[in-house]
A and B are shown apart, each in its own frame.
Chain A
Amino acid sequence: MHAQDQIGSYDRESLRRTAGLAGWAIAWAGTLALARFGPASLWDSEAVSWAAVALNVAVGIGWIVAHVRFLRSIDELHRKVVLDALAVTFGVGWVGGLAYVVAENADLVSGDLQVFVALLGGVYVVAVAGGLLRYR
């Protein structure tokens, strides 16, 4: 097999896997929105609400499995970048989350937790981008 035939094959495969992972993330967000807003606007049944929550959890588990497979499939430099980003995100989530709980218990804040989840997503994206730039 000539190397020329393979040029970019890793990058193409990596793009395909990243797109697959993004698909899982979008599916999870979609089922989350369905479970969150469905009871108020789409149906009036506790059983359906529980089914929507179960669907969200099932898709979430699929997303986690897809992420683990993604991590195993990428090359070692990209794995390091992603793991570093996950470490930063985990740290921000842990420290920031507990600080938020303490502040809320002290009646200092009463914000929306969704903003914090979005913040964690942003931290992860920025950390991955920073890692990719560092090893450019």
Chain B
Amino acid sequence: MRNRLKDLRAQRGWTQADLAARAGVSRQTINSIEKGKFDPSLPLAFRLARLFDLAIEEIFEDD
């Protein structure tokens, strides 16, 4: 699954650690999602979408 997490995070000037703290997960989890190594669960995807004030499909898209 592809995602725009890295771009959205950069737009807000957040580090991976910033986003991880806001989403309540580890920095490693954010890093793995950004690299496409790990697909987040639906609840985490919703949390991330809320943080960026976007819909899930505006952040994540199927390969």
The residues of A with any CB-CB pair to B shorter than 8 Å are: 3-4, 6-11, 14, 75-78, 80, 132, 134-136
Most buried by B among A4, A9, A77, A136: A77
List chain B residues, Cβ under 8 A from A4.
Answer: 18, 21
Closest to B40 in A: A76
B21 touches A77 (CB 8 A): no
Main secondary structure of the interface of B (DSSP, over half): helix
A77 touches B26 (CB 8 A): yes
A135 touches B38 (CB 8 A): yes
- On whether A10 and B25 interact (CB within 8 A), knowing A76-B41, A77-B38, the answer reads yes
Counting chain B residues whose Cβ lies within 8 A of the other chain, the interface size class is 20 to 34
A11 touches B27 (CB 8 A): yes
A7 touches B21 (CB 8 A): yes
- The smallest beta-carbon distance between A74 and chain B, in angstroms, is 8
List chain A residues, Cβ under 8 A from B19.
Answer: 3
Contact of B14 among A3, A8, A75, A134 (CB under 8 A): A3
The residues of B with any CB-CB pair to A shorter than 8 Å are: 14, 17-22, 24-29, 31-32, 37-38, 40-41, 44
23 contacts between A and B (CB under 8 A): A3-B19, A3-B21, A3-B22, A4-B18, A7-B17, A8-B17, A8-B21, A10-B21, A10-B25, A11-B27, A75-B24, A75-B25, A75-B29, A76-B44, A77-B25, A77-B26, A77-B28, A77-B29, A77-B32, A78-B29, A134-B37, A135-B31, A135-B38
List chain A residues, Cβ under 8 A from B14.
Answer: 3
**Distance in angstroms between the alpha carbons of A9 and B18 in the assembled complex:** 11
Closest to B43 in A: A76
